[in-house]
């Protein structure tokens, strides 16, 4: 287990040193310094996740959500945070996929 723990610590250090994480962390700190905007972003993310995970979501509902939030997404702080968060999530997803694939986990 020591080898795994050491490798995990190295992976964590590499992630923390990555440009993707650095960008996300800067935006996270920026948004957290604005409690009202953070609450709005959290609500946007909650509703977005709900739409994505609900098997009964229609294209009309998605279009409506996008129209209702278009102006909110134009806020540069919101846009930069969500873009940085998405890039970081994609990095973590890629790491998970590669790990699962390499271990032949079914």
- Give the DSSP H or E segment for 6: helix 2-17
Q: How far is CA 1 from CA 7, 8, 83, in A?
A: 10, 10, 36
CA-CA distance, 31 to 44, in Å (whole number)? 14
Q: What is the mean pLDDT of residues 90-98?
A: 98
The percentage of residues in the chain with a pLDDT greater than 90, rounded to a whole number, is 98
Q: How far is CA 87 from CA 27, 57, 102, in A?
A: 12, 25, 22
DSSP state, residue 33: T
Please write the tens of the pLDDT for every residue from 26-77.
999 999 999 999 999 999 999 999 999 999 999 999 999 999 999 999 999 9
Q: Taking the model in full, what pTM does it have?
A: 0.88
């Amino acid at each position: 287990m020591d080898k795994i723990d050491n490798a995990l610590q190295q992976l964590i250090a590499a992630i923390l040193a990555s440009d993707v994480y650095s960008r996300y962390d800067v935006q996270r700190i920026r948004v957290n310094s604005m409690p009202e905007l953070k609450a709005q972003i959290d609500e946007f993310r909650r509703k977005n996740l709900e739409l994505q995970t609900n098997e009964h979501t229609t294209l009309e509902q998605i279009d409506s959500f996008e129209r209702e939030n278009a102006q909110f997404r134009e806020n540069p702080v919101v846009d930069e945070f969500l873009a940085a968060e998405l890039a970081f999530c994609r990095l973590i997803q890629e790491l998970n996929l590669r790990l699962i694939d390499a271990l032949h986990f079914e």
